Amino acid sequence: MLDPHTTLRSQAAGILHEISLLQDRIQQFRIELEPVQLQLDGITYPVLNLPSEITSEIFVHCLPDVISGEDAVNITEAPLLLLRICSQWRQIALSTPRLWTRLDMDLLSRHEHASEIAKTWLDCSRQHPLSVRLKGPMTNIHAPEVRSLKFDVSVDDWLRMPTRINFSHLRDLSLRLIEIDLTEDEVPEYRVEMFQTAHELHRVLLHQIPPRLLLLPWRQLRSFTGEFYEIEECIENEDELDDDGDIFANASYPNMRSFTLFRSRSDAENT
């Protein structure tokens, strides 16, 4: 009768022998692949002979359809996919600002690289108008070319909002508090000032964020929508009221063309 240890050693030796045979076979495959790969690498595909301007235009038409709320930072779709095909396509994609004019990103799912991704996107968009939708904690980004900003935040995210970001060309702003049905005590009391100097801002939508927590250039606004508000909340600053507490007495919004308030979710959803 064989010693159990001897049997195990024999089994192990047999497995190692099979591994060695497979490794030799893999090496042989690599040797056979090399000349084939050299031939493939020498092939010039007709699409690579197109002028860069035409390739760039084709790339723009490869962008996925805009779907509200969908994370556009997807390596399996344009524009990020175009960076992974070949060096020539990568260079053309990075040099095509129109590929990078919409940034729709869930910062919560990729927090570690959020700043890097946002910076790359903004750099590639160059001087083209940029539409940005973010969910999660905002980072300190250089954003002078952002024209439209939609931002979904939690209470914790709001409390960590940067104090200063350059939004010199921002025209359309939408801020939504993710948590719903907050009590008055749960609403954050941190006042955000970054949009006060957005001199081109004309349209604002606030969702469950009291206007007192946001310094806005009210006199230049043309459209304001507040969801889950009473009108008093929109002009509740002391300097907006007269001695009798008349909420309309001193309010002056000379450029306002649309002022809409919703007191409940059903009101907002039924419009």
The full set of domain ranges for the chain reads: 48-100, 101-271
Longest CA–CA span in the chain (Å) reads: 107
Q: What is the DSSP letter of 241?
A: S
pTM, two decimal places: 0.66
What digits encode the pLDDT tens for the residues 107-159? 766 556 666 777 778 778 877 777 888 776 666 566 677 889 988 888 777 87
Q: What are phi and psi of 108, to 5 degrees?
A: -70, -30
Give me the mean pLDDT over the 178-200 stretch.
75
Tell whether the model's pLDDT for residue 13 goes beyond 80: yes
CA-to-CA dists, residue 209 to 86, 112, 199, angstroms? 46, 27, 21
Give me the mean pLDDT over the 252-265 stretch.
80
What digits encode the pLDDT tens for the residues 26-84? 999 999 999 999 998 888 888 888 999 999 999 999 998 765 555 667 778 889 899 99
Cβ atoms within 10 Å, residue 138:
22
Give me the mean pLDDT over the 209-229 stretch.
85
* Inter-axis angle of helices 52-61 and 87-94, nearest 10: 80
Residue 90: its H or E element: helix 87-94
In which band, very low, low, confident or very high, does the pLDDT at 188 lie, cut at 50, 70 and 90?
low
Beta bridge partners of 105: 134
